[in-house]
Amino acid sequence: MWFKNLSIFRLTENFILTPEDLEQKLSTMSFHPCTPHQEFSFGWTPPVGKPAQQLVHSSNGFMMLCGKKEEKVLPAAVINEMVQEKILETEEQQARKLSKKERSAIKDELIFELLPKAFRFSRKTYAYIDPKGGWVVVDAASTKSAEDLLSNLRKCLGSLPAVPLSTIDKPIAIMTQWLMTNQTPDDLTIENECELRSPEEAGGIIRCKRHDLTLPEIKNHLDMGKEVIKLAVSWADRIAFIVDENLAIKRLRFLDLIQDQIADIDSNSEAEKFDADFSIMSLELANFLPRLVALFGGENRA
């Protein structure tokens, strides 16, 4: 359950729903597997496994939810080959070339026939709402996945006034300055990974992993005008992560100070462990997110 990526959204209005209210609204779109001719299905599923069945897990005012998407796999290469065979067969039978519309219809018919037999796979996306802090945080590595979850949440709630986090100072400028000067705020430590990009259109990209970023070769790239678009850092010896130019957090890790807290907790069930982990994680991130904003000059609410 521990989040590995953070797509961060700011609530622009107070979130007034109680966990019970949110539960009721999500239940209108609970998850159901794909029907035979359905390509995909999305719905809400309990964040905690059985025996818990609630769609909202609440702890210390934070509300965890989980979206589940099931999709059917129809390999494009297989479909295209079958479509071409069917087109050639039909053209030979009718002694004429098929129109674009007819070719498209053949493809649609084949997909319709194959869908009930297609393999299925599903994935879950977790998110939590922090009404007090004014955040929605999604454990998603891509912006699209996070936006898809919020879009489905809006369908259930009617509206959700949440926008991607934006700061006054540009992350690229601040991260470039940190690396150029090898100076960071006291509670931040640069780790051994970064990504540099030339500012011109289609500019070159340099990726460094397990690399000493204080070496002269890194500064040479910066002197030549490259900018930092991703940087691995750790904060207050509590969490480590990669932050990118859009303030997305990747490969989030909770360090020893947090791991020690987890180890001290004695839980007797999956639900108890989930609740304890969620409590620790959400409280830790509630402290971290305002600091993240401050590192980049404060929040841009324009």
pLDDT tens column, 17-40: 999 999 999 999 999 999 999 999
- Of the pLDDT bands very low, low, confident and very high (cuts 50, 70, 90), residue 176 is very high
Reported as a pLDDT band with limits 50, 70 and 90, residue 148 is very high
pLDDT grade for 50, boundaries at 50, 70 and 90 = low
* Per-residue confidence (pLDDT) for residue 78, from 0 to 100: 84
Q: How far is CA 19 from CA 58, 164, 265, in A?
A: 7, 23, 25
pLDDT at residue number 62: 98
CB atoms within 10 A of CB 269: 12
pLDDT band at 52, cuts 50/70/90? low
* CB neighbour list of residue 134: distance below 8 Å, 6 or more residues apart: 10, 11, 14, 15
Identify the pLDDT of residue 3: 98
Angle value at C-alpha 197, between 191 and 200, nearest 5 degrees: 160
Cβ contact 225:198 at 8 Å: yes
Q: Compute CA distances 36 → 33, 82, 106, whole Å.
A: 9, 20, 19
Residue 49: per-residue pLDDT: 75
- Whether 135 has a pLDDT exceeding 70, the answer reads yes
Ranges of H-type helices in 59-190: 76-94, 100-114, 143-157, 171-181
Summarised one tens digit per residue, pLDDT across range 63-109 is: 999 999 999 988 888 889 988 999 998 989 998 999 999 999 999 99
pTM for this predicted structure: 0.90
What is the domain partition of the chain in residue ranges? 76-116, 171-295
Higher pLDDT among residues 108 and 49, named by residue = 108
For the cut 90, the answer to whether the pLDDT of residue 41 exceeds it is: yes
List b or e across 52-85, with b for residues whose CB sees 16 or more CB atoms inside 10 angstroms.
eebbbbbbeebbbbbbbbbbbebeeeeeeebbee
**Integer distance in angstroms from the first to the last C-alpha of the chain?**
34
